[in-house]
């Protein structure tokens, strides 16, 4: 699901959350990542952080360390938004087991 608002951040699960948790520099980040788990704009958030090389905080369920590692593994990616949207579309098109 994607946001229908002008800015995806208006639908973010972390909107109004304690910024000290989202931008923590420790084990607290694990708690912050749980906020992202059911967020309807997680993909948009992560793409924004990756495309803009945001260096601090938890964005889209990933810490800055995790995002840096991903960026190092995929230096060829020009638009993370496109890559993540394509991955989401592929996931949705797969037949469900069961």
Every domain of the chain and the residues it spans? 8-93
Look-up: residue for tokens 């230096």?
75
Look-up: residue for tokens 């990933």?
62
Estimate the share of the chain in helix, then strand, then coil, as percent rounded to the nearest 5.
50, 0, 45
Contact in structure between 62 and 49 (CB atoms under 8 Å): yes
Give CA–CA dist 29/57, Å, rounded.
Answer: 8
Give CA–CA dist 56/44, Å, rounded.
Answer: 17
Per-residue pLDDT tens over the stretch 32-91: 888 898 899 999 999 999 999 998 889 999 999 999 999 999 999 999 999 998 988 888
Per-residue pLDDT tens over the stretch 22-38: 777 777 788 888 889 88
């Amino acid at each position: 699901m994607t946001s229908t608002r002008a800015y995806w951040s208006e639908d973010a699960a972390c909107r109004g959350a304690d910024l000290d948790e989202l931008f923590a520099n420790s084990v607290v980040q694990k708690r912050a990542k749980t906020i992202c788990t059911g967020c309807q704009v997680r993909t948009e958030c992560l793409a924004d952080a990756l495309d803009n090389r945001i260096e601090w905080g938890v964005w889209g369920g990933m810490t800055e360390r995790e995002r840096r590692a991903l960026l190092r593994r995929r230096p060829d990616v020009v638009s993370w938004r496109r890559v993540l949207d394509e991955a989401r579309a592929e996931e949705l098109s797969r037949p469900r087991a069961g």
